[in-house]
Amino acid sequence: MKIAVLVSGSGTLLEAMIEAELPIALVVSDRPCRGLVLADENGIPALLHERTDFGPGFDRDAYASELSEELLAHEIDVVAMAGFGTILGTSIFDALRGRIVNTHPSLLPSFPGWHAVRDALDFGVRVTGCTIHVATPKVDHGPILAQEAVIVREDDDEASLHERIKTVERRLYVETLRNIHARGHVLDPMLEELS
C-alpha cells in the first residue's frame, strides 16, 4: 500500500509517520516548508504543488483536480492530510473517494474549523482531544476512524493545550494508518458502512 502525505508546515506528523516506517511513497506540499525537507532527507519523493492564488478567485476544483492526477499517476492508495493548509475542491474526493484521511484537534463533531483548540477553551469544555476521520468535501465532517480525549487543565492556554493534543495526534494518526495498512485495502468498503 502506497501512502501520500500532504503537508504545509513543520512536518511533525510526517516525522512521526517516517519514524513509524509507514510506506510513504510521496510527500506533497502546497508551499515550500520543512515537510519537503524531511522528505528529501529521508529519500521520499516529494512534490511542490504550489498554491500561488490566495484570493477569492482561487479555483479549488482545478487545483484539486491537478493534485489528484499527480496522486493517481504515483499509484497512491491512501492520502494522509497532515496539516495541509489548502481546502480542496470536490474533484479530488470524487477521484479518491474514501481514500483521503485527515486529523483534527477536537472530538468531532464538536469544534470543527481552523480554531478548534481556541473554540474549545472559549466554550469552557473540560475534555477535548483529536479525531482521525475520512476526509470529504465538507470540512471536518467525514466518518470518524479514531478519537482520543485530552483533559483540559485549569492553567491551559491555547498553545499548551494544542501541544498536548498534537502529542496524542501523532501517535493516534500513525496507529490509524497502520490499521489501514494491515487491512490491506483502501477505505471504500468502510465508507459505505460509516456514512
Give the active site residues: 104
| Positive/negative CA dihedral, 98, 100, 103, 106 | negative
- φ and ψ at residue 139, rounded to 5 degrees: -60, 135
Q: What span, in angstroms and rounded, lies between the C-alpha atoms of 18 and 11? A: 10
Q: What are the beta bridge partners of residue 84?
A: none
